Each structure stands twice: as structure tokens, then as C-alpha cells.
Structure 1
């Protein structure tokens, strides 16, 4: 539960140490005592986090054992309004690091997606996706595009780049769909991560793949 710290609009005195707090002081209200300064409330080690970055605030709040909401009275709106949050310094540092990592990750993803768009022959992908949908009308919505983009990526050496696939050969398209199902719809990758030989892992998931292929071929 968040504690509450108020920005005072009136001069006051700390009920514990007797310090003159003055106007606009940050105070904590103790039951039966009144206003105390943040030092006497044992909140002066917290750092102030202003509003504006929801992700940073959420993470800092999660990592901070002790938090306090900072409130100030609005004469215009006749109510207390939130001004920010007091959190532990190490919690804020951890939250800032996480947000920085996320920001860098988002930038790397944007770069990868831009490069991917360059490497995709969009018309060919659309034709390949249409062929997937034609052969497997029961596959989940938009999955044909995902299969086509993965299979047709330039320079990848994947099945979609083969001469047969470029002619939209039925066997080549089927191989692309099977590869997609193997990785997305079965525990094939888990089996590999557990050290199972690739051929053994494929044998383990063959029946499951055949079952899904049969379902996807139905309208």
C-alpha cells in the first residue's frame, strides 16, 4: 500500500522535531500528531519520480519496497492531485536500466524489421501466401503470410527461395508449411533443447504434424 505525502500550502511545524517547515513543504500526516517532515517520517531516503513515463513509474513502483504518492491540493479542481511518486533510489536505478534495455531492444527490432522489408520480395511473398491459403484453407488467419515471409526471405537458403518454390510447386509449398508447423505447433524445439537428435526429434513430432496438415487442408 502506498503512503501519502502532501505538498503543504500553509506554513507548518513538524510535530516531532519542531522544525519550521514553511509553505510548500513536503509533509507526512501522523495520526493524532499532525504534520511531520519527511526525515521524522523516515521517508527522506526516497527519491522523487515525476509523472510522464508510465513504464518507468510502473517498474520503479514494483521494485521499491517502500513508496509514497505525492499529492497537492488543486484550488481550481477542489481536490488533491497526484504529482508523482517517492521510491527507493535503487528501485529507480533498476527501473531506468530496464527501460533503457527496452528502448535499445525496440530500436534493434525496428532496424531488423526495416532490413527484413528490404530483403522481402513483397509480390513473391503475396503469391506464395495465396498458394499456401489455396492448399491449406483451414490454416489460422494470417498464418499464410507468416509462413511465406519466413520461407521467402532473400539469402536465407530456405525452401521458399528454391526454384521449385518460385514456381509455387505444391511439394515446395508443403515443405514450407510443414517446417512452420514443426516449429510453431509442436514441441520439436523443446526436444532439441533437451539434447535429442534432430532426426529423432522429427520422428517424435511427425504424427502431430500430419494431424495438423490434415486439419488445415479442410475448408
Structure 2
């Protein structure tokens, strides 16, 4: 089956997400002619790889289960021009390891690692990880840490940066865990790459997500609680 990569737009005008109303958006997708931020579009876990390094781009794209094309409109030429890709961080890291002879790729990896360390709020992340493990005691500790780190990145507007997330609201923490399970433990990303609309893909993977959450709760309770 041919893959259908999502198209992400870098808007020229200030736009806000039609779902969460966050903005202005650096990058967005358009659904029914309405702007949707990358987190609401389930692309927020991807990292940006600018165009220019053909080998690195090819390897990162081939290694990423979910990737998207980033474009920007050129008013002078009246056309959209490709700016790069959004790819999975693990795929980008693997591609950079394959391109270690490229000094620029090594520098880019170091810069990205430094940026990631700078945006993580250790206190928020630690508290969120502890609450995840309290609500889901059978969740693997490393997964709880990954989910907490992603949800609490500074400036992201994700669950860990909202008032509900910082107060460790049960529903907000569960939403962060559910999002992590969706990308790692279900074929959700594959469905998106096959052209399945986002809302349909979410419906199809919902039973699998709830099964994982029930297992992580360890008591057979309602994972939505």
C-alpha cells in the first residue's frame, strides 16, 4: 500500500489551533480548512529535520514509522515549498549514527540533545512520573518517565504544562498516558501513514489503548477514571 505522508504547514500569518486554541502556531495541519496544532494532530512527538542533507533525510524517513512533510508558501513564486520533514526522534538518532562521518550531523545531534535537556523541567517531570506510577502501578518505570518527560516539556502547552497537569489532575495525567500508549502500543501511526483520517484512526485503536491502561492499572478498573 502506498504511504500518504501528512503535510504540515508553516503559516505566514498568526494562526491558532481550532481544537485547543493554542497559538500562534509555528507549524500546523489543515483539517476541513481549519488549523490544527501538531499536538492535537498527534504529530507533536516528531522532531523537525530541515532539508539540505539528502542522506540524513533519506535514512531518517526510512526509519520513521510516522513522518510528515513540512512546507511553507512562497508568495513571490505563488507555490508551497518544502522546508524539511518531521520524523521520529529515534529514527533521526539512528540516521545520524549512520552518518557519523558527517560533522554537521554530529553537531546537530549535540545541539538537539542540549535543547532537549534545557526544555525539561525536572521537578514537574518527576512529579508527573510519580503520579503516573501511582495511577498505573504496573506501568514500566521507563515508559512512565518517557511519558512524563514528553508531557512536561517547557513551552509545549502539553498536559504537563497546563494547570490541570501541574496540579496532577487525574484526568489530565490519564490523558497523557493514553497519548503515549496510542503512539507506542497501537498501529495508530501506521494507520495515519495509510491515509486513515485521524478521528477514524483514534476510534479503531481505542479498544487496544483501554486494554493497556487496564493492565497498567492492575485492578481491572475503568482506565477513564
TM interval, shorter chain, is 0.5 to 0.7
Shift of 1:98: 4.1
Structure scoring higher RCO (CA < 8 A, sep ≥ 6) equals 2
Matched residue, 1:207: 207
2:170 matched to 1:170?
yes
Whole-angstrom distance in 2 between the partners of 1:105 and 1:216: 38
Q: Deviations over 1:72-101 (max 9, x none)?
A: xxxxxxxxxxxxxxxxxxxxxxxxx94423
- Please say if residues 138 and 215 of structure 2, whose CA atoms lie closer than 8 Å, have aligned partners that are also in contact: yes
Shift of 1:105: 3.1
Q: Deviations over 1:168-213 (max 9, x none)?
A: 0000000000000000111100100111100000001000000000
Matched residue, 1:100: 101
2:147 matched to 1:147?
yes
Shift in CA distance, 136/106, structure 1 to aligned 2, threshold 3 Å: farther
Q: Deviations over 1:26-79 (max 9, x none)?
A: xxxxxxxxxxxxxxxxxxxxxxxxxxxxxxxxxxxxxxxxxxxxxxxxxxxxxx
Whole-angstrom distance in 1 between the partners of 2:107 and 2:131: 34
What SS does structure 1 have at the residue aligned with 2:126? helix
- Please say if residues 133 and 141 of structure 2, whose CA atoms lie closer than 8 Å, have aligned partners that are also in contact: no
173-182 or 111-120: which moved more?
111-120
The number of equivalent residue pairs is 122
- Please say if residues 99 and 105 of structure 2, whose CA atoms lie closer than 8 Å, have aligned partners that are also in contact: no
Whole-angstrom distance in 2 between the partners of 1:146 and 1:106: 24
Whole-angstrom distance in 2 between the partners of 1:140 and 1:98: 32
Shift in CA distance, 193/134, structure 1 to aligned 2, threshold 3 Å: same
Shift in CA distance, 106/138, structure 1 to aligned 2, threshold 3 Å: farther
Matched residue, 2:111: 111
Whole-angstrom distance in 2 between the partners of 1:215 and 1:173: 16
- Taking the TM superposition and a 5 Å limit, the aligned residue runs for 1:45-60 are none
Shift in CA distance, 98/131, structure 1 to aligned 2, threshold 3 Å: closer
Matched residue, 1:121: 121
Shift in CA distance, 98/122, structure 1 to aligned 2, threshold 3 Å: closer
Matched residue, 2:187: 187
Whole-angstrom distance in 1 between the partners of 2:135 and 2:192: 29
Question: Which of structures 1 and 2 has the bigger CA Rg?
Answer: 1
Please give the TM-score of this superposition, normalised by the length of structure 2.
0.52
- Structure 2 residue ranges without an equivalent (≥5): 1-97, 220-225
Shift of 1:130: 0.3
